[in-house]
Amino acid sequence: VDAGAEDEFREFVLARSPALLGTAYALTGDRGLAEDLLQVSLLKTYRHWRRVRHSGSPDAYVRRVMANQRISWWRRRRVAEADRPVPDRAAPADPGPEQRDELWRALQQLPPRTRAVVVLRYWEDLSEAETARILGCSAGTVKSQASRGLARLRAVLIDDERERTRP
């Protein structure tokens, strides 16, 4: 990476890492894991920065790396995670209402690819086509996974509503 590109990369990290860390946290549900995911993804981006910087969308590149890296980690650790019904909630402290707590848990319990679709579509506000491109799947797959993920989240909201309206 030459000096000019180096400066650009440094600026990119400074400017975009807060938002990208948020995405990483949404994908992992664990603060420490999110930091590692972000660092590993930015490291991969750095290695290809000469190409990435000219792609016009370094953000999309990092998101793609993050989503795929997260899925890759999950494949390697799925046995370990099977024993983990509730994701790590150590940090940050949750200031939101209980309903959001439940929604957060439900999001973390989605399969990684479905979770990635939900995060990219509804948090990053990407189109189905963009999400499909990042995840390397078809737009149809994105559509069905998003629908499935959203259905699961809606179910949580219904359960919560029932709980609150129970006499």
Partner 1 sequence: VTEPTDAEAVRELRATLADRTGPLTPPPDLYEDIRRRHRRGRGTLIAGTAAVAAAAAVAVPALALGGEPQQAGPPAATTAPAACSPEPGPAAPGLRSQGTVAGSLGGDPATVTAVLRVGWQRLRQATGSGTPLDPATATVRFVQRAADGTIVGLVDATGSDRRLGRQVVAVTGTRPDRLSTERLEDENGLLSMPKELVTVVRACGHPRVAVLVPPGTAATLFEVTDVEADATVNRRTRPVPVRPDGVAVLDQPTAPTARLVLRPPVRSGAAGLEVGVGLLPAVPACVRVSPPGSGCTTFQQAVAAAPGDGDQRQAVDLLRQPGSLPLTHVDLRVLWRGTTNGGTVTAAVTTLPSGAQYVWGGMTSKGVPGNAGFFGVLPAGGLDRTVLIYRSPEVLEGSQVAPNVVAILVPGTVQVRATVDGVQRTVTATDGILFKGRTFTGITVTRADGTRLRTVEVFALPSPYLLPIGS
Between residues 35 and 139, which has the closer beta carbon with respect to partner 1? Answer: 35
Please report the DSSP string for 79-104 in residue order. HHHHT-SS----SS---S-HHHHHHH
* 15 scored as a contact of partner 1 (CB under 8 A): no
Torsions phi, psi for 85 (to 5 deg)? -65, -35
* 21 scored as a contact of partner 1 (CB under 8 A): yes
The residue ranges of DSSP E strands in 22-80, in sequence order, are none
Angle at CA 12, nearest 5°, toward 52 and 74? 70
User: Judged by CB under 8 A, which stretch of 26-34, 53-61, 109-117, 134-142 contacts partner 1?
Assistant: 26-34
SS3 per residue for 42-67: HHHHHHCHHHHCCCCCHHHHHHHHHH
Task: Kindly tell me which residue out of 54, 56, 75, 96 binds partner 1, with binding defined by CB under 8 A.
Answer: 96
Which of the 8 DSSP states describes residue 121? Answer: I
What is the nearest approach in angstroms of partner 1 to the Cβ of residue 7? 9
* 48 scored as a contact of partner 1 (CB under 8 A): no
What is the nearest approach in angstroms of partner 1 to the Cβ of residue 48? 11
Letters for 125-164 (x = contact with partner 1 by CB under 8 A, - = none) are: -------------------------x--xx--xx--xx--
108 contact partners, CB below 8 Å, separation of at least 6: 29, 86, 87, 115
Distance, CA of 31 to CA of 19 (rounded, Å): 14
What is the nearest approach in angstroms of partner 1 to the Cβ of residue 17? 4
Binding site for partner 1 (CB under 8 A): 2-6, 9-10, 13-14, 17-18, 21-23, 25-26, 28, 30-36, 38-39, 42-43, 46-47, 73, 77, 80-81, 83-84, 87-88, 92, 94-96, 99-100, 103-104, 107, 118-119, 122-123, 150, 153-154, 157-158, 161-162, 165
